[in-house]
Structure 1
Amino acid sequence: MANMEMIFLGTSSAAPTSERGLSSIAIMRNGELLLFDAGEGMQRNFIKASLGMNRKMKVFVTHMHADHCVGLLGLLQTMSLQGRERRLDIYGQPRLKEFLLENMRIINFGLTFEVAIHTIEREGTVVEESDYKVSCCEAKHSIPTFSYRLDEFDRPGAFNVEIVKQMGIPEGKLYTSLQKGQDIEYKGTRIKSSEVVGHPRPGRKIGISGDTRPTDKLAKFFSGCDLLVFESTYSQDKYEKALETLHCTATEAATLAKQAGVKKLFLTHFSARYDETSSLVKEASIIHPNVEAAEDMKRIDVPYPSL
């Protein structure tokens, strides 16, 4: 079982406030760090959260607005100053590669580690590991933008050791085969994996919107997520402003989350006009039963879904 924790490193839109830094979300999963966006100055909260500068790490950038990507430069330099040695993988728009390479050339970065910049050309799976994948979907914003989704693959069902012992099967390769869903032969008897292994247990599913208007396409993309982080730049009384800037209101975020059948909604990316966010949560809670506001440095344990 993999531990998973989400840490909000920045929850403000456009400009930082005294309480909120710019957009960045970290997901710590089984010792690997998945970072979504890196607004200016985010490395301060990165350090404060004790996330570690030399661990396996992937960075996913939603779009090329400064409040979502400029912090990468500071993060790279801080990692280098602290002696990072591991390769860092970064995923995003074609312009992201140009942005990073040109700035690294001008500032003359002396990095201590390899940076692999992966250009996302289309929707679909961005990266796939043995036990999870990250995919992307086009969002609706003023420039090309991606939303992301993390899906863990199903885990094998619970292995009933007592039944297997009663059958007299010795520990070792035969146990492993049964646990992996493979039927075995033992002393002339065929033993089905399904007899000793329970139903597959679903993995966790997390959606991250980036900046966007709500769309039916995104509602479908985020369908069935256990946890959705969706931008909530404005309250519903600023709907016209949201339309004009291609952002989202708390009401719209909650409506999409309900449409997608999301279990829990976190609002983030708040306009600096909101000193506190209770009114946004209240507005969204009229529509979706499980809403919470993100805050800088808030940490959330993400449990496996109950069967």
Structure 2
Amino acid sequence: MKLVFLGTSAAQPTERRGLSSICLERDGEILMFDAGEGSQVSFLKSGLGWNKPMKIFVTHLHGDHCLGILGLIQTMTLQHRTEKIEIFGPKGIDEFLSANIKILNFGLSFPIMVAVVDEGIVVEEKGYHVSASNALHSTPAFSFVFQEKDKPGRFFPEKALGLGIPEGELWHKLQSGESISINGKTFKPSDVLGEKRSGKKIGISGDTRPTKQLEEFFKNCDYLTFDSTFDSSLQQKANETFHSTASEAALLAKNANVKNLILTHFSARYSDETLLAEEARKIHSSVIAAKDLLEIEIK
């Protein structure tokens, strides 16, 4: 599992930074959070692949977070994609996509499913779920959390063999959490597995002011990417535009017991992110300033 940052700039691109888009790749599936204009270019450079199972989560309907979906799906059609894409976003996402697809006459090569989201669990899959919480921005907006479900513990082949369980399908069932029976005797996964491993929790803030609600929503995240548009000298501008400073992002992450904070969505006024990262590190011990095409392995 890894995070890939396709675009880390706010509102307008720079020579080094594209507009907002973050991908989480897990077990051959791609979960994309936002797609600013030109996201398909960074997607191409990332090598993530055009025909994998994919879901797109849109935090809000500002152009630097959603206009890139149009170019992305058109490029995917030209790449002969066949896998469906599921798109989740705030009220209006369905109208935005249906109108533009009709007007631009894409002739898509794959199906698209669009769903309007509200607070709570948005997607429930076998190995994870994605939930949404209201963010505080100048337009209706959501933040998202990816929560991986707990995984079975380490499998010990020597224990299985010692219990007389033959290698093959029965081992697979035990590793998948199923009990098995052999000659009337039942074996539980705990007989051959170690302690369960906690699933990872990853937060995506989108554009927002810090709030107590989000602090609770992101509680105990292993990784949190948070709006860090400005440094603290521009606090008033952050308030006026409903964005956050790097120090505010760090304080929220500290209060929420976040293990690793990743700053993103930087104003174009910053030629590099050093100032913002240094500001945040005065408050939180583990801070990364994202760059376009940065990959972070989730271990």
Give TM-score scaled by structure 2 length. 0.95
Q: Residues 180 and 27 from structure 1, CA distance in 2 versus in 1: closer, same or farther, beyond 3 angstroms?
A: closer
Written as runs of structure 1 = structure 2, the 5 A alignment for 1:1-307 is 4-120=1-117, 122-172=118-168, 174-183=170-179, 186=182, 191-303=187-299
Query: Matches of 2:105 and 2:174 in 1, distance apart?
Result: 55
The runs of 4+ residues in structure 1 deviating greater than 4 Å are 180-192
Query: Matches of 1:150 and 1:292 in 2, distance apart?
Result: 19
Q: Return 5+ residue gaps in structure 1 as ranges.
A: none
Q: Residues 195 and 55 from structure 1, CA distance in 2 versus in 1: closer, same or farther, beyond 3 angstroms?
A: closer
Indicate if the aligned counterparts of 1:155 and 1:200 stay in contact, CA closer than 8 A: yes
SS in 2 for 1:94: coil
Q: CA deviation at 1:197?
A: 1.9
Q: CA deviation at 1:278?
A: 0.6
**Residue deviations 1:214-271, cap 9 Å, x none?**
0111111111111100010000111111111110000000001111111111000001
Q: Return 5+ residue gaps in structure 2 as ranges.
A: none
Higher mean displacement: 156-165 or 291-300: 156-165
SS in 2 for 1:27: strand
SS in 1 for 2:25: strand
Amino acid at match of 1:112: S
Amino acid at match of 1:104: I
**Residue deviations 1:42-68, cap 9 Å, x none?**
111111112222211111100001110
Q: CA deviation at 1:136?
A: 0.8
Give TM-score scaled by structure 1 length. 0.93
Query: Matches of 1:188 and 1:130 in 2, distance apart?
Result: 30
Query: Matches of 1:197 and 1:124 in 2, distance apart?
Result: 33
Amino acid at match of 1:8: F
Q: Residues 140 and 184 from structure 1, CA distance in 2 versus in 1: closer, same or farther, beyond 3 angstroms?
A: same
Aligned Cα RMSD in Å? 1.6
Instruction: Give identity over the alignment, percent.
Output: 52
SS in 1 for 2:24: strand
Q: CA deviation at 1:169?
A: 2.8
SS in 2 for 1:300: strand
Amino acid at match of 2:93: L
Aligned residues: 299
**Residue deviations 1:136-186, cap 9 Å, x none?**
111011111010111111111122221221222333454345434455555
Query: Matches of 1:192 and 1:15 in 2, distance apart?
Result: 56
Q: Residues 55 and 194 from structure 1, CA distance in 2 versus in 1: closer, same or farther, beyond 3 angstroms?
A: closer
Q: CA deviation at 1:33?
A: 0.9
Query: Matches of 1:256 and 1:84 in 2, distance apart?
Result: 40
Q: CA deviation at 1:6?
A: 1.1
**Residue deviations 1:99-139, cap 9 Å, x none?**
1111122222221111111111x211111111111111110
Q: CA deviation at 1:34?
A: 0.8
Q: Residues 248 and 119 from structure 1, CA distance in 2 versus in 1: closer, same or farther, beyond 3 angstroms?
A: same
